[in-house]
Amino acid sequence: MIEKQGALTAIVNVYLRDPLENSPDENSLELRPYDTAGGQVYLGWDIKGSDVYLNTLGYSGALISGAPNAGKTVLVKRIAAELALSDVAVSIANGKNDSKFDVFKNAGISVIGDDKPIFLEQLRERERLRQERMRSLPGDYQDQPVDSQPPLEVLIVDEFQEYLSAVTRDERPVVEEITALLTRLIKLQRSAGMFTILATQKVDSQAIPTALRDVIPSKISGYTTTPEMTRMALGNLRDDEPHPDDKHVVPPGKPGRMIIAGQAVIARLFQVANINDEQIIGAIRGGVSVSGSRQ
């Protein structure tokens, strides 16, 4: 007997099919520019075929995680591309220092590697910007008319745990300041029109300090292997909410099957609409949305 894990498990099992397997329509596969007025980044579709978004207005950051091959990188690249298609100021820090974000670097978007001092200086500059905006804005960023708002500032940090790990004694003070600044920014930057996305495959307490995890309001996770990993990735979910460690809800062989929590009353299961590098570079250079495919 399959242990019940909420209504979504029942739906999947009763119909003996994957209700998220196919996109509702071709519009669900598009790479869409960030909705500046609504503060929304399109992610994919849910079990009812409705659009799923990551909201930035009223939020300061998001944690994206999941076991290897869960589809984290594709989701991060979709978000980055959609932000880049709008007036958002996007910066990317790649803790693995590999080539997966070269598509954005080639399009003129700031991408740095795993150099901790460089990343630290980037955070210091963001903190200076936050303080400057808090002095100059007449009120909360989200309360300003859209046409008078400064651009939303988004920092995407992939495999961010690499910046929080001190390999040598000399790196310890650098890592400590990085951790403190990330925590401070995510805690205070919402009113300044700034947003940080932290992505990782490692969600344990050694990879993510509790003080940092606790200030991240929105969380997205692909499949996890244990209930403890689920708690680390998404917080404490109710029994009637979808759990990423339930293989009948988030199958390990379905990249892009994700759960988003912290932005609504109940966590939401969705499928990421995939996009490849050729489509990303074409859209960014052309300034138009392009169709992707189900991951």
| Known binding-site positions for ATP | 66-73
- The rounded distance, in Å, linking the Cα atoms of 94 and 113 is 5
**In the numeric block, which tokens belong to residue 232?**
């680390």
- The rounded distance, in Å, linking the Cα atoms of 157 and 91 is 9
E strands along 47-159, which residues? 51-55, 61-65, 89-94, 110-112, 153-158
- The rounded distance, in Å, linking the Cα atoms of 34 and 204 is 31
Write out the binding residues: 66-73
261 in Cβ contact with 267 (< 8 Å):
yes
CA distances from 77 to 15, 103, 104, 183 (A): 32, 9, 9, 23
